[in-house]
């Protein structure tokens, strides 16, 4: 997948039959205006589709990135703005494409967020460190952004 008009030879083509990834997202790092973690999840999901691979991809938002999972009203209150959650469409797309989106329960507790404050489809785990550890022990590869 290249946006370049110049020829590009792929020296090391990758094709996998199974992908098990957990993205641990504690901060937002950006590619332009798009959070890099979301861009990378979209990219690997496209790869999985092209490979016809079995997949299980989990995004665990925590710490300074937990607000990505909030509905518009809770996002506005948390961020002290009135724009609504600019990430809601991106999160909905990830969920629609089969990526599990989770919020760290410890992050939610510190911010006093409840389940009603979350975007539809977002699940809450005990805490990000325990959940990431669990998934790694189940054979997931941990990606950090």
CATH numbers and ranges of domains, the chain: 18-144 (3.40.1260.10)
Residue 128 has pLDDT above 70, yes or no: yes
CA proximity to 145, closest of 53, 59, 19: 59
CA proximity to 10, closest of 18, 20, 1: 1
Q: Tell me, what's the pLDDT at 3?
A: 65
pTM: 0.93
What's the whole-number mean pLDDT along residues 65-89? 98
Residue 4 has pLDDT above 70, yes or no: no
Residue 2 has pLDDT above 60, yes or no: no
How does the average pLDDT of the chain come out, rounded? Answer: 96
């Amino acid at each position: 997948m290249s946006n370049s008009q110049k020829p590009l030879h792929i020296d090391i083509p990758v094709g996998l039959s199974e992908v098990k990834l957990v993205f641990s997202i504690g901060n937002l790092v950006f590619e332009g205006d798009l959070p890099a973690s979301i861009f990378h999840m979209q990219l690997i999901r496209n790869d999985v589709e092209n490979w016809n691979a079995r997949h299980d991809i989990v995004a665990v938002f925590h710490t300074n990135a937990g607000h990505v999972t909030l509905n518009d009203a809770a996002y506005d209150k948390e961020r002290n703005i009135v724009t609504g959650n600019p990430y809601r469409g991106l999160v909905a797309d990830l969920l629609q494409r089969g990526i599990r989106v989770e919020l760290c329960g410890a992050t939610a507790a510190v911010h006093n967020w409840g389940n009603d404050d979350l975007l539809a489809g977002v699940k809450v785990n005990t805490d990000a460190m325990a959940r990431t550890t669990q998934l790694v022990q189940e054979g997931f590869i941990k990606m950090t952004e």
